Amino acid sequence: MATVFARFWASVFLVSLAAAGPRGALERFPPQVLHATSFVDNFDFTTNGTFQQRILMYRDWWTTGKPVLLFFGGEGSVEGFYNATGAIFEHAVALNAMVVFVEHRCYGKSLPEVPLSRCLRRLTVEQALADVAWYIVKLREQLNCKRKECAFITLGGSYGGMLVAWFQQKYPHLSAGGIASSAPIDFYPHDGRQDAFWSATLHTFETFGSRACAHELNNSLQLLRSTSDSPQGRRRLGELLGSCDPLLEEVTAGSKVDFFVRGAVSTLAMLDYPVASDFVTKLPANPVKAACQRLAGTGNPLEGLKAVLDLFLNATGTYRCYDFLAEMVGRPTNGTLHGPSTPPDMGPWQYQACNELPMQSLTTDGMGFYPAADGQLSEVSDSCNLRYGIRPRTSWLQVNFGGSDLHVGHLLFTNGEKDPWRVGAPKPERIGEALDIHQHLIPGAAHHEDLRFDAAPPRPLVSLAKQKARALMQRWIADFQRKPTAEQLLLA
């Protein structure tokens, strides 16, 4: 009977959550703001310096011994992730779980060292994973969890989803399972990734914009590149597209402008939510359709591209111009931005792209993503060396975590059809058949849409992905609770 009542109230809560409108989780589920004492350097045993790492916690549904849903904060302040990640609260009420968000080191207010330039030396994937490992151990102690209690399930989207998958490989004894949404863990050079990424972008524009839109987009970019071949063409290009700097003498302007535009277009595909959003930048509902209308509505392909850039970057009118020459490809520059009245805080992520994640470098004035082609990686390396004095170790994460060669299960990878990053999902043929690893492509969904609050009305295929995730979490929690004790293993 208690189980029946629990399910009833969970269903009531989910209906009310869906009907609550656009308010974010910070308002609907006000968190406790806590701090974990974390090591400045988890791998330097000559020093035990610590810093305060921010934690956001919501525990209204949790009782002793019940699960903990831990969200990996990514490349930004933890409040933004907490506010937008509605699905974790839907899961938590159904599982009687605690919700915990961990802010990533060197983002927000979780700074191992100040100023930021010193913090960057401690900014790696390995350090971030170790932070969470230590925190789980300490939290279990604080909650007085017994061995088969407090199953931890990790969740994350995009880079945070990559951390989920890698955490499961590195620290499987600390997590009962993980939900990795839009997590391109197998996205490395020498595998045709840029071409696949662009093809996925065009699919979104053709399928969810208009049939002619992908063709118009390719033609506009072809015109952009041919126009950039001459000094006079580059000058015209800079004038039409609103460049902050004159392009007349910049021989690499074509590749830089092309990269800038592709970053905007691909990120629009990634963020093609059915409702207005400000997750990365302020966008209307169905922004791909809006971009296609702008592209076709000017009569001039280059002016159409400018209209698309304005949609992506300048909805609030805060850009004076666009910093095409700050792109990572082409001639190295220091990356200074002059166009936005308030430049985005792009330093921490761009640094990560320069040490371990060169295929995920920021583009489009720090607001977009587009992967470098193999032939452009040397240019990215030169830009990294100029800006930070480092060069990317392009294959390190693949060596460290194996790409698609996963060896620990209890993982679900979800991807949206609209999201170009889906091409970095693990290759099914590389995953052992006996491993409890699942992949689910969500038709018509955008970047980790299954982690967000439901649209109004809820979208059935996104809801189905959430149901699949919850069913797996329930099974993993049950598996965790059935783990044999040391005595049972000896008697087996």
Tokens of 377: 């990686």
Catalytic residue among 110, 158, 228, 383: 158
- 3-state class of 178 per DSSP? strand
Q: Compute CA distances 401 → 111, 189, 357, 394, 414, whole Å.
A: 26, 16, 13, 13, 19
Tokens of 113: 């060292």
Q: Do β-strands 50-58 and 32-39 pair in parallel, antiparallel, or remain unpaired?
A: antiparallel
Catalytic residue among 175, 447, 448, 463: 447
- What would the DSSP string read from start to end of 296-364? HHSSSHHHHHHHHHHHHH-TTS-BSSB-GGGSSSSS-------SBSS----HHHHHHHHHT-GGG-EET
Sequence-distant (≥ 6) Cβ neighbours of residue 16 within 8 angstroms: none
What region does 168 belong to: left with phi over 0, alpha with psi -120 to 50, or beta? alpha
Catalytic residue among 419, 448, 450, 463: 419
Q: Is 16 buried (19+), middle (13-18) or exposed (0-12) by CB count in 10 A?
A: exposed
Strands of the sheet with 152-157, listed across from one edge:
32-39, 50-58, 98-102, 68-72, 152-157, 177-181, 411-416, 437-442
Q: Compute CA distances 78 → 33, 86, 408, whole Å.
A: 10, 14, 28
Tokens of 179: 């939900």
Separation between Cα atoms, residue 293 and residue 430, nearest integer Å: 41
Specify whether 447 is catalytic. yes
CB 469 within 8 A of CB 92: no
Tokens of 342: 């308030």
Separation between Cα atoms, residue 366 and residue 371, nearest integer Å: 13
CB 422 within 8 A of CB 397: no
Residues with catalytic annotation?
158, 419, 447
